[in-house]
């Protein structure tokens, strides 16, 4: 039973998240010998203030760009 966990920064719409789940499910179905109902996809959204690269959060990067 494949379990796929995706962690992304918050900010996408419900429609975007749903489309991503669909595409991830389809990719696993194409590449792994399993039944569709056995595939699990979990999406974790992290606040942009809690995700940093090089000691700068995504929220801070956005502030610097504006």
Q: Which residues are catalytic?
A: 2
8 in Cβ contact with 51 (< 8 Å): no
In this structure, is the dihedral angle defined by the CA atoms of residues 24, 17, 10 and 5, taken in order, positive or negative? negative
Q: Facing residues of 4 across strands? A: 41
22 SS3 class? helix
């Amino acid at each position: 039973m494949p379990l796929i966990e995706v962690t992304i920064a918050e900010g996408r719409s419900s429609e975007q998240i749903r489309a991503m789940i669909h595409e991830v499910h389809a990719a696993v179905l194409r590449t792994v010998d399993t039944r569709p109902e056995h595939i699990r996809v979990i999406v974790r959204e992290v606040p942009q203030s809690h995700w940093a690269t090089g000691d700068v959060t995504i929220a801070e990067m956005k502030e610097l760009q504006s």
